């Protein structure tokens, strides 16, 4: 039993499976007799106060602002590693997936705005379908195993990482509330400490975490979204310490299982509870959920595949080794799985439950259709390729 569990959690698809189970559990509970308790728990106040001053937020905000800061911290670690020694180090390797990521963010946003331009309230959610969920997309691709080229997984990972970087910039530029400059000024103190630790090549992780936590509190108080403190802190973690070891690798390896199998599922459980009571099929075609679903399903396909086709046909880039156009189309479909990031940006866009329920409906529908399409296209492509390979072999035997 323990060996089976160990094999499961080591599988590339495990994170996506756990995430899907958490989302389904939230969906079931939100539409059962436990619904009132579920929503009451998420709105419970949790406070850390000293002499009446401090932080007091609903539990769901601690999840979305606090736990997700750890998620963004891990993304920051991955980004720094990839930029210094990985897939993002060589600009030539970044060009094609990078431009595909840009197209995969712009086109979904435009499609969303087509459906919501006349409503000044829902118009603010334009960035919801622009993001790709790495765990889900890679998880679906992992289910196909060796049926797809290894280069396709690298292409998807690079695209999703750059997509996350774009989402971080969008949050920083467009989802910042009223600024309190005094707190931003105070945030320079922990930033200076992080810079000093990085320059001296510290091997101790605890001071980095402590200064990062102080930075998180000050950024939260400043009005800038607090999850960005996680990304900033990650970029000050040394890749190599003065002893030649890597605090960045140690943190990333140690943190990944907790983020993948605890933090992200908790976020999904807290945010995926769509209340289906009273909903009809026509509700899916309301501008808000339809704009999100169409952006994820159609926008990602057009943006990712279209930009890739344009750059390759223009001679500015080449497809990775053994990757065909059908593979690229299947990957473009998988890029439409926007679950975690889309729900997160939806929570930044809308505060009321009615709009958030519509956001959840659109994200779940668009992500599910994208996952099924992507898996189906890549599975059929792999079967066709296997059949084509068998024909010459059979002819040779005869």
pLDDT tens, residue by residue, 239-265: 998 888 999 999 999 998 898 888 988
Q: Is the pLDDT of residue 309 over 90?
A: yes
Share of the chain above pLDDT 90, in %: 33
Q: What is the sign, positive or negative, of the torsion defined by CA atoms of 49, 53, 59, 63? A: negative
Q: Is the pLDDT of residue 384 over 70?
A: no
* Per-residue pLDDT, 391: 45
pLDDT band at 213 (very low <50, low <70, confident <90, very high): very high
Rounded to an integer, the average pLDDT of 26-52 is 86
For domain 12-42+58-266+280-383, say whether CATH 1.20.1530.10 is its number. yes
Query: According to the 3-state scheme, what is the secondary structure of the chain?
Result: CHHHHHHHHHCCCHHHHHHHHHHHHHHHHHCCCCHHHHHHHHCCEEEEEECCEEEEEEHHHHHHHHHHHHHHHHHHHHHHHHHHHCCCCCHHHHHHHHHHHHHHHHHHHHHHHHHHCCCCCHHHHCCHHHCCCHHHHHHHHHHCHHHCCHHHHHHHHHHHHHHHHHHHHHHHHHCCCCCCHHHHHHCHHHHHHHHHHHHCCCCCCHHHHHHHHHHHHHHHHHCCCCHHHHHHHHCCCCCCCCCCCCHHHHHHHHHHHHHHHHHHHHHHHHHCCCCCCCCCHHHHHCHHHHHHHHHHHHHHHHHHHHHHHHHHHCCCCCCCCCCCHHHHHHHHHHCCCCHHHHHHHHHHHCCCHHHHHHHHHHHHHHHHHHHHHHHHHHHHHHHHHHHHHHHHHHHHHC
Rounded to an integer, the average pLDDT of 158-174 is 83
* Per-residue pLDDT, 179: 74
- How do residues 110-146 score in pLDDT, each as one tens digit? 999 999 999 999 999 999 998 887 777 877 887 777 7
Q: Domain boundaries in the chain?
A: 12-42+58-266+280-383
State the average pLDDT for the chain.
85
* Per-residue pLDDT, 109: 95
Lowest-confidence range among 117-131, 221-235, 363-377? 221-235
* Per-residue pLDDT, 29: 93
* Per-residue pLDDT, 354: 85
Lowest-confidence range among 168-182, 256-270, 307-321, 333-347? 168-182
Q: Is the pLDDT of residue 62 over 90?
A: no
* Per-residue pLDDT, 177: 67
Q: Is the pLDDT of residue 389 over 50?
A: no
Rounded to an integer, the average pLDDT of 227-243 is 89
Q: What are the distances in angstroms from CA 241 to CA 117, 126, 188?
A: 51, 42, 23
- How do residues 321-353 score in pLDDT, each as one tens digit? 888 999 999 999 999 998 888 888 888 888 888
Q: Is the pLDDT of residue 210 over 80?
A: yes
Distance CA 130, CA 175 (A): 14
Rounded to an integer, the average pLDDT of 49-76 is 83
Q: Is the pLDDT of residue 196 over 80?
A: yes
* Per-residue pLDDT, 104: 94
* Per-residue pLDDT, 7: 74
Rounded to an integer, the average pLDDT of 218-247 is 87
pLDDT band at 393 (very low <50, low <70, confident <90, very high): very low
pLDDT band at 385 (very low <50, low <70, confident <90, very high): low
pLDDT band at 394 (very low <50, low <70, confident <90, very high): very low
* Per-residue pLDDT, 114: 95
Q: Is the pLDDT of residue 360 over 80?
A: yes
Lowest-confidence range among 40-54, 180-194, 202-216, 241-255? 40-54
* Per-residue pLDDT, 10: 73
**Do residues 209 and 223 touch, judged by C-beta distance below 8 A?**
no
């Amino acid at each position: 039993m323990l060996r089976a569990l160990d094999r499961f959690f080591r599988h590339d698809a495990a994170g996506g499976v756990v995430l899907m189970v958490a989302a389904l559990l939230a969906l079931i509970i939100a539409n059962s007799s436990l619904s009132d308790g579920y929503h009451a728990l998420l709105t419970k106040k949790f406070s850390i106060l000293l002499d009446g001053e401090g932080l007091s937020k609903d539990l769901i905000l601690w999840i979305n602002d606090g736990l997700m800061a750890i998620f963004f911290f891990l993304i920051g670690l991955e980004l720094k590693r990839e930029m210094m020694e990985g897939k993002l180090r060589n600009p030539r390797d970044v060009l094609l997936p990078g431009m595909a990521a840009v197209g995969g963010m712009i086109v979904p946003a435009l499609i969303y705005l087509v459906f919501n331009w006349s409503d000044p309230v829902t118009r603010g959610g334009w960035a919801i379908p622009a993001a790709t969920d790495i765990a889900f997309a890679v998880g679906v691709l992992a289910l196909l195993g060796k049926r797809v080229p290894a280069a396709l997984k690298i292409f998807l990972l690079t695209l999703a990482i750059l997509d996350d970087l774009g989402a971080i910039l969008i949050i920083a530029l467009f989802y910042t509330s009223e600024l309190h400059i005094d707190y931003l000024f105070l945030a320079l103190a922990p930033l200076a400490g992080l810079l000093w630790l990085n320059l001296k090549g510290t091997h101790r992780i605890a001071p980095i975490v402590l200064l990062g936590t102080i930075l998180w509190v000050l950024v939260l108080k400043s009005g800038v979204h607090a999850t960005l403190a996680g990304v900033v802190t990650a970029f000050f973690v040394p890749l190599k310490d003065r002893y030649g070891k890597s605090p960045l690798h140690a943190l990333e390896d140690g943190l990944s299982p907790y983020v993948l199998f605890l933090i992200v599922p908790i976020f999904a459980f807290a945010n995926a509870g769509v209340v289906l009571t009273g909903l009809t099929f026509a509700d899916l075609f309301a501008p808000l959920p339809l704009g999100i679903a169409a952006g994820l399903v159609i926008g990602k396909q057009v943006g990712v595949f279209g930009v890739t086709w344009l750059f390759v046909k223009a001679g500015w880039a080449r497809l990775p080794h053994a990757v065909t156009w059908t593979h690229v189309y299947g990957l473009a479909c998988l890029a439409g799985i926007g679950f975690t990031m889309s729900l997160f940006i939806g929570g930044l866009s809308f505060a009321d439950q009615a709009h958030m329920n519509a956001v959840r409906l659109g994200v779940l529908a668009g992500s599910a259709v994208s996952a099924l399409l992507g898996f189906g296209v890549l599975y059929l492509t792999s079967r066709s390729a296997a059949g084509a390979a068998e024909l010459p072999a059979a002819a040779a035997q005869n």
